[in-house]
Amino acid sequence: MKVVILAGGLGTRFAEETEVRPKPMIEIGGFPIIRHIMKQYSHYGFNEFFLALGYKGEIIKRYFLDYYHLSGDITINTSNGRLEAHENPQCDDWLVHMFETGERSMTGGRIKRLEAYLKDGTFMVTYGDGVSDIDVSKLLAFHKSHGKIATITAVHPPARYGEVVFDDEVSARFSEKPQTGEGWINGGFMVFEPAMFDYLKDDATILESDALEHMAQDRQLAAYTHTGFWQCMDTLREKKFLESLWQNGTAPWKIWND
């Protein structure tokens, strides 16, 4: 099963970090968030990744070029520059394909550029800036059982601010609610059949407002509801929230052991 990670956006709402690196390379717990996402899929046995690169994609390429060597022990002969990487059984067994899909391409356009590599069967897609404790094996089973072209994961959006609850005029309680009960949004973690490429035209195609809306109109879109943890990382505040969960040892999305 191939997993596409959309990792090419400009990240303009997160300029504090994205002026120097693409958003998927922003670190949580000392590791880029894209690694957290890949570790989750890998936990369920999905180890082949297609990274749709764009803005500062060379930084992501460099990270994975060095991934094996920096994950374990190495020996360097300084007289001739020869490098020996010692066996590292703890290193992730991933196949990572990285494709330049255009700095200005939209989400649908990035997937369209990968059509030649994805048209042979069911594949998954997610964004490079969100984590969740979703069971992607159950998501895939749900998709297969409904026979639609596409399945999205519907989540409640996280509350951006805590809620102040008044008991009376002089007494109040503060509630840092993890999620609101108001509606559902597309949280990523999607599954597609190759027929989805009929809904993608060019680089300007937006996956959400173009392709998914048309699939819904054609009754080819299913929604898998996830009521557990989900959090995107669009702001510095959200990064700090995820970092605090990680440092406290309470990160719900960390379902792997390493």
Q: What is the CATH number of the domain that holds 25?
A: 3.90.550.10
Give the sign of the dihedral formed by CA 14, CA 30, CA 28, CA 51: positive
pLDDT tens for the chain, 258 residues long, are: 999 999 998 877 777 777 888 999 999 999 999 999 999 999 999 999 999 999 999 999 999 998 887 777 889 998 988 888 887 767 889 999 999 999 999 999 999 999 999 999 999 999 999 999 999 999 999 999 999 999 999 998 766 544 444 454 444 444 444 555 457 889 999 999 999 999 999 999 999 989 999 999 999 999 999 999 999 998 888 999 999 999 999 999 999 987
52 lies in some domain = yes
Q: Report how far residue 69's alpha carbon sits from residue 105's, in angstroms, rounded to the nearest whole number.
A: 32
Q: Report how far residue 138's alpha carbon sits from residue 43's, in angstroms, rounded to the nearest whole number.
A: 13
State the residue range of the domain holding 190.
2-153+184-247
According to the model, what pLDDT value does residue 176 have?
A: 47
Q: Report how far residue 73's alpha carbon sits from residue 14's, in angstroms, rounded to the nearest whole number.
A: 35
Geometric angle at alpha carbon 231, from 227 and 236, rounded to 5°: 160
According to the model, what pLDDT value does residue 67 have?
A: 87
173 lies in some domain = no
According to the model, what pLDDT value does residue 90 have?
A: 73
According to the model, what pLDDT value does residue 48 have?
A: 98
Nearest in space to 121 (alpha carbons), one of 143, 137, 136: 143
Beta bridge partners of 196: none
Q: Report how far residue 87's alpha carbon sits from residue 131's, in angstroms, rounded to the nearest whole number.
A: 30
48 lies in some domain = yes
According to the model, what pLDDT value does residue 74 have?
A: 85
**The pair of three-digit structure tokens given for residue 137, joined into one six-digit string:** 């094996």
**Whole-structure pTM value:** 0.87
232 lies in some domain = yes
Q: Report how far residue 141's alpha carbon sits from residue 197's, in angstroms, rounded to the nearest whole number.
A: 21
229 lies in some domain = yes
According to the model, what pLDDT value does residue 80 have?
A: 87
37 lies in some domain = yes
70 lies in some domain = yes
Q: Report how far residue 219's alpha carbon sits from residue 149's, in angstroms, rounded to the nearest whole number.
A: 9
214 lies in some domain = yes
* Number of structural domains in the chain: 1
DSSP result, the chain: -EEEEEE----GGGHHHHTTS-GGG-EETTEEHHHHHHHHHHHTT--EEEEEE-TTHHHHHHHHHSHHHHHS-EEEETTTTEEEEPP-TTS---EEEEEE--TT--HHHHHHTTHHHHTTS-EEEEETTEEE---HHHHHHHHHHHT-SEEEEEEPPPPSS-EEEESSSS-EEEE--SS-SS--EE-S-EEE-GGGGGG--STT--IIIIIIHHHHHTT-EEEEE--S-EEE--SHHHHHHHHHHHHTT--TT--S--
Name the residue with tokens 């109109």.
217
Q: What is the CA radius of gyration of the chain?
A: 20
